[in-house]
Structure 1
Amino acid sequence: MVKTRHFLSNPTDNKMERVSNSIEALMNAAKAEIENFELRSEEKIIAYFSELPTIGRFPYKIILAEISDGSILSKFRQWDTEYNLKQWTSGINNLDRLRIITDEKILSETDTAILKKELSKLELIKLPETIRDQKTIILDGSEWKLGISLANKNRDYTWIASTEDINLFVPIIELIRKQYLDRIK
């Protein structure tokens, strides 16, 4: 039986905290938290990549945002699954107290040039509507997401198993992931 309850975090505060024994509720809360990037008015997302693994691993999302001066800012958010699951040993999870690891940095000039070159290549071709391999079944696998924002087209892709069209995006995915390889577990 799945239970989700709300408790007052502080008796003088009217904010309710959500606790649940549902793994699905926990994963949904984690997904919402890693999606919660605060952008400044001068930042525009040009690409993102995320991995939403099965429970027990570390879901994360990385965005690349262009700043008005042309530089690219990389922002990272990851749920510290290990910390929270060690903290909540009884199977009751506090959905409002997830530990989220964050970081941000400016891409190097070299990485910025590579990214802009790869995005320019994508501007010139017809992008696939999907890169999800519909013929493959994977049980208990990670869900991957990639988004790109180009001058004349925007695409969001989600897959568990991809088609060969993923090769169009591998240089961008590798560049995005490279920024935080030391943090991605």
Structure 2
Amino acid sequence: MERFSNRIEALMSEAKIEIENFALKNGENIIAYLSELPSMSGFPYKIILVENSEGIVYSRFRQWDTEYDFTRWDNGIFNLDRLRIITEENILSKTESALLKEHLSQLEKIQLPENINEENVIILDSSLWKFGFILKNKNIDYTWKAATEDINLFSPILDLMREKYLDRI
């Protein structure tokens, strides 16, 4: 039986679950991820970088097509089991993979900030951003609405992740 709701919170919760739903194949490991969950309108998405057992790095993308779904559900009743999710996969070039691994190795050598969420600002309406990556000895996860200047430490990785999907996000 399909699930329906007239609550936007239930719809957003289901969309978050759907964009997080990456099926990894045997021997694949997530290297990094980036997600954006807009608070009002927009297209929630998540990008992951995955390395397989042969050392090939893939970029995978999942996004909820809100424009399509909201035109289907103009009466305010949402089908939680039929969200339209856009998916895409790209193989990183050897150059891109090498740059990614170089940036990650540089991050292993420095003291990373505990938090990159700027808490001294007032945000009335903003996206919730999540970014994480795997280092040899630890997993790093950040969440923010307004980032501190420390986000610049991660710009090369963030740019690499977003570059392939700029026409979608």
For the superposition of Structure 1 and Structure 2, which TM-score range results when normalised by the shorter chain?
A: over 0.9
**Aligned residues: CA RMSD:** 0.9
CA distance in 2, matches of 1:182, 1:68: 30
Name the SS for the 1:171 alignment partner: helix
CA contact (8 A) 2:33 2:131 kept: yes
2:88 pairs with 1:109? no
Partner of 2:118: 133
Tell me how far 1:173 sits from its aligned partner: 0.4
Identity %: 64
- Specify which of 79, 101, 104 is matched with residue 64 of structure 2: 79
CA distance in 2, matches of 1:139, 1:35: 26
| Bigger relative contact order (CA 8 A; separation at least 6) | 2
CA distance in 2, matches of 1:108, 1:92: 44
2:12 pairs with 1:24? no
Please, what TM-score do these two structures have when normalized by structure 2? 0.97
Counterpart residue type for residue 51 of structure 1: E
Flag the structure with larger Rg. Answer: 1
Flag structure 1 segments of 5+ consecutive residues without an equivalent: 1-15
Partner of 1:93: 78
- Specify which of 142, 151, 156 is matched with residue 171 of structure 1: 156
Tell me how far 1:40 sits from its aligned partner: 0.5
CA contact (8 A) 1:131 1:159 kept: yes
CA contact (8 A) 1:27 1:55 kept: no
CA contact (8 A) 2:5 2:80 kept: yes
- Specify which of 124, 134, 138 is matched with residue 153 of structure 1: 138
CA distance in 2, matches of 1:91, 1:41: 40
CA distance in 1, matches of 2:38, 2:47: 15
CA distance in 2, matches of 1:134, 1:181: 28
Tell me how far 1:79 sits from its aligned partner: 0.1
Count of residues paired in the alignment: 169
Please, what TM-score do these two structures have when normalized by structure 1? 0.89
Partner of 1:62: 47
